[in-house]
Amino acid sequence: MAASARIATYTHDALVFDVRDDGPLEGPVVVLLHGFPQTSTSWRAVVPHLHAAG
């Protein structure tokens, strides 16, 4: 994943979500979810293809 990824934390009630925002701000939104115990690195092979697709 790109070193320029934006990281944010969102909280809703007792739930806390760490969000990695990667890619151009003006591009379409794609949400990739992972389950426990995986991390965002689960998608490292997919992200370059999404970037290439725009």
Using a pLDDT cut of 70, give the percent of the chain over it: 93
5: left (phi over 0), alpha (psi -120 to 50) or beta: beta
- Reading the block at residue 46, the tokens are 């997919």
Q: Is the confidence at residue 10, as pLDDT, over 70?
A: yes
Using a pLDDT cut of 90, give the percent of the chain over it: 37
**pLDDT band at 3, cuts 50/70/90?**
low
Average pLDDT over residues 8-12: 94
CA distance linking residue 5 with residue 28, whole number of Å: 16
- Residue pair 5/21 in contact by the 8 Å Cβ criterion: yes
Q: pTM for the whole thing?
A: 0.66
The one-character DSSP state at 40 is: G
CA distance linking residue 51 with residue 40, whole number of Å: 16
